Amino acid sequence: MRILVVAATSAEVVPFVAGLRFDSEGELRVSRYTRGAHRVDVLTAGVGMVATAAWCSRALATEGYDMALNLGVCGSFDRTLVPGSVVHVVSESLPELGAEDAGAFLTVQELKLLGDDDFPFQGGRMMNVASPPNPVLLRLPSVDGITVNTVHGNEQSIAAVIARFRPQVESMEGAAFMYACLIHGLPCAEVRAVSNVVEKRNRRAWKMADAIRNLGETGLEILDHT
């Protein structure tokens, strides 16, 4: 099976890549590996929605893959998701996409620029309807995410986004990856490890090393059960 693994930074997938056998450096920010019978292409797309959407789309248009994984860290709004835990993000929203209206914010759906159920949205959320039937994914907590350009670290903005979108986690790339895969009809999964609670920025409370280690172990386990 040919599998595309997308990460924003190489640091997030160091333990994962350590479990692969290196084959060659490809083009388009892709390094090629194998694990068992699988060819695994690791795309380091860069941070943010724009870079992820562009590089994912190019990779998917250039090569034929059987499935794709997005591996990365995330912040958690849901305090039952403790730092270090790994989750499967099954839906995404774009809470910054819209327009300011004095003190209010209007989403693209409220602006009537996009319907609530226009592809790939269902009820206003981007839904992953093509998740691989993998037993490891099935046992991970399924969560709703948001993808943002600016991660939250202000009490007022945190309260506002929770009230409007009820997210459990946030990242800077997830929706872009999901959108690209859904356009290509490719089975995909956004798998993230919680590095921190979303709150006023407090790096001393982060569990980045634990998150990256657990993310790598889970990613390898997904491959071994594919």
Domains, the chain, in order of start with CATH, read 2-224 (3.40.50.1580)
Which residue bears the tokens 């159920």?
Answer: 117
pLDDT, tens digit, 9 for 90 and up, residues 138-197: 999 999 999 999 999 999 999 999 999 999 999 999 999 999 999 999 999 999 999 999
- Does 26 score more than 90 pLDDT? no
Full DSSP string of 150-176: S----HHHHHHHHHHH--SEEESSHHH
Q: Determine contact, residues 165/78, Cβ cutoff 8 Å.
A: no
**Nearby residues of 222 by Cβ (< 8 Å), 6 or more positions away:** 69, 134, 136, 137, 189, 191
Indicate whether 33 pLDDT > 90.
yes
Q: How confident is the model at residue 28 (pLDDT cuts 50, 70, 90)?
A: confident
pLDDT per residue as tens digits for the range 59-89:
999 999 999 999 999 999 999 999 999 999 9
For residue 17, pLDDT over 90 is answered with yes
152-185: burial string, b at 16+ Cβ within 10 Å, e else: beeeeebeebbeebebbbbbbbbbbbbbbbbebe
Alpha helices (H) in the chain, listed in sequence order: 14-18, 49-62, 135-139, 155-165, 174-183, 208-224
Q: Each residue of 88-118: pLDDT tens digit? A: 999 999 999 999 998 889 999 999 999 999 9
Mean per-residue pLDDT for 206-213? Answer: 97
Q: Which of these, 50, 58, 48, lies nearest to 4 by C-alpha position?
A: 58
Q: Which residues of 1-18 are buried (b: 16+ CB within 10 A; e: fewer)?
A: eebbbbbbeeebbebbbe
